[in-house]
Amino acid sequence: MSTSADPLAALAALPGVAESVNAVRNAVDRVYGHRVMRRRSNEVTSEAALRGARGSATLAGADWALEEVRRRTDFGAEGEPRTVGAALRLTAEAGQLLSIWRQSPLRVLARLHLVAAGGAEGDEGVGRPRQSGEPVDEPLIGSDLRLPDAEEVAGRLDGLARLLLAGSEAPALVTAAVVHGELLALRPFVSRNGLVARAAERIVLVGSGLDPKSICPAEVGYAELGVAPYMAALEGYASGTPEGMAVWIAHCGRAVELGVRESTAVCEALQRGAA
């Protein structure tokens, strides 16, 4: 990452990033201008939350149909049900953490992992960064992506927190993409890092004012684009090269645009009285 006084703003100046930022801004503006949003925005927000959780769970290995997620109430069984349940809990929790995020991003990340893991404070490995020698259970992130050791994780998490607290003039998309990419690259927890990373990205997009009603579920877009492109873009982020970073930010931007398209379809269905 750039060593400038505002490294996030430096990333925003990379070739192609401005185009992604503008495309996202225009897409978000269009869906917020939909006539349904004036009267039924709460319904759109609720539906976006459900679809976003379903998309995030898909990327974590639980590819369930939307109607299955909608009708199920028991997510306690091991395997895919627990993954879907974790995604739903995180989506609900993220909206409650905006004010804390502005003061202590690391506290929020710990809380997100606690919620995702479904444990209690003090449970081994839950709600805290992993320690030296602890394994990481993140099956969809292959061994080709280097796993930083615990000392590097601690240092980079601290650096990320300081960067966020310092503030930046960078567009929300850039900040959200860096938060998402850094957490995936670090895998700071023993499990559920992907779910936590996508929830943190959602907090940034909402808290920045880009998507204040949380109706643009990027998680839908990532799932639609597929796991292989997601991982290829992440490798670009992890490389630290300007080209790789730009590819990752563009991928995140495209995911937000697809999330906007999903919510636009929800708006159209509500307008027709079909949802």
CB-neighbour burial class of residue 242 (10 A; exposed 0-12, middle 13-18, buried 19+): middle
The answer, yes or no, to whether residue 63 has pLDDT greater than 70, is yes
For residue 197, the one-letter residue type is A
Predicted local distance difference test score (pLDDT) of residue 219: 98
> What is the C-alpha separation between 187 and 129, in angstroms, rounded?
9
Residue, of 42 and 118, whose pLDDT is higher:
42
CA distances from 261 to 181, 203, 225 (A): 23, 20, 13
For residue 5, the one-letter residue type is A
Predicted local distance difference test score (pLDDT) of residue 273: 85
**pLDDT (tens digit, 9 = 90+) per residue, 147-160?**
999 999 999 999 99
Predicted local distance difference test score (pLDDT) of residue 122: 54
User: Which residue's entry shows tokens 């992890």?
Assistant: 238
Predicted local distance difference test score (pLDDT) of residue 79: 87
Contact 160, 182 (CB under 8 A): yes
**Predicted TM-score (pTM) of this structure:** 0.94
Report the chain's mean pLDDT, rounded to a whole number: 94
Map residue 133 onto helix, strand or coil.
coil
pLDDT band at 120 (very low <50, low <70, confident <90, very high): low
> What is the C-alpha separation between 142 and 117, in angstroms, rounded?
21
